[in-house]
């Protein structure tokens, strides 16, 4: 079971490496890793489990954060609206790839955080508001999905990790809370 002890922190070189594509269909080992990554996210969002296991909450996780330099990410974003269950996303993506993205940009009003960063880094992380992503699932099936708003932001944060990019790389150091016109602020 993955706990905080398995998560490497900034300064570890694996966080700055470009991770390698995995064979498709994924190996049993890579399937198991994906399952454990998704379970970690669910545990981290369960108040009792998070307390018991001392987990920081997360909506996404990338294999490099576990010192595994492979292009595997997990996302578990609960739908905020029970009427629209499809508004959340819960899946493991093997070799995810952004095929296209909107010109429209967006950011989270409260900024971003990262389990590999043990400090608050204030500032807007401006990303594409909508993305089209292709990826393979645990069975080796190819998917092509369109994401927007919070789901799109989270998947971009994770795909950054497999490319050695940290969220604060996107923050304008001189004006971290400066916002260009037209950037959608997601609350």
Ligand X SMILES: O=CN(O)CCNC(=O)c1cccc(Cl)c1Cl
Q: Which residues here bind ligand X, judged by CB under 6 A? A: 58-62, 108, 112-116, 153-154, 157-158, 161
Q: How many whole angstroms separate alpha carbon 109 and alpha carbon 18?
A: 29
Q: How many whole angstroms separate alpha carbon 89 and alpha carbon 74?
A: 10
Structure tokens at 166: 């940290």
107 is in an annotated binding site: no
Q: How far is the CB of 83 from Ni ion (least distance, A)?
A: 30
Residue nearest to Ni ion (CB): 114
76 is in an annotated binding site: no
Q: Is 114 in the site for Ni ion (CB under 5 A)?
A: yes
Give the residue carrying structure tokens 């959608």.
184
As a residue count, the chain comes to 187
Q: Which of 21, 32, 36, 158 is catalytic?
A: 158
Does the annotation count 141 as an active-site position?
no
Q: How many whole angstroms separate alpha carbon 86 and alpha carbon 90?
A: 10
CB neighbours of 173 closer than 8 A, spacing ≥ 6?
Answer: none
Q: How far is the CB of 19 from Ni ion (least distance, A)?
A: 13
Residue 74 interacting partner from ligand X, Ni ion, none (CB closer than 5 to 8 Å by kind): none
Residues recognised as catalytic: 158
Query: What residues are designated binding site for Fe cation?
Result: 114, 157, 161
């Amino acid at each position: 079971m993955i706990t905080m002890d398995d998560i490497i922190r900034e300064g570890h070189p694996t966080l700055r490496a470009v991770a390698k594509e995995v064979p498709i269909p994924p190996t049993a080992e890579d399937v198991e890793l994906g399952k454990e990554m998704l379970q970690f996210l669910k545990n981290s969002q369960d108040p009792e489990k998070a307390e018991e296991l001392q987990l920081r909450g997360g909506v996404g996780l990338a294999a490099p954060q576990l010192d595994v330099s492979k292009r595997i990410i997990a996302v578990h974003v609960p739908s905020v609206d029970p009427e629209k269950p499809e508004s959340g996303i819960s899946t493991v993506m093997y070799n995810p790839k952004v095929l296209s993205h909107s010109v429209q940009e967006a950011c989270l009003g409260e900024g971003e955080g990262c389990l590999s960063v043990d400090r608050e880094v204030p500032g807007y992380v401006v990303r594409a508001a909508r993305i089209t992503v292709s990826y393979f699932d645990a069975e080796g099936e190819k998917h092509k999905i369109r994401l927007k708003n919070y789901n799109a932001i989270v998947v971009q944060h994770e795909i950054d990790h497999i490319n050695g990019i940290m969220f604060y790389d996107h923050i304008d150091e001189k004006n971290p809370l400066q916002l260009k016109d037209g950037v959608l602020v997601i609350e």
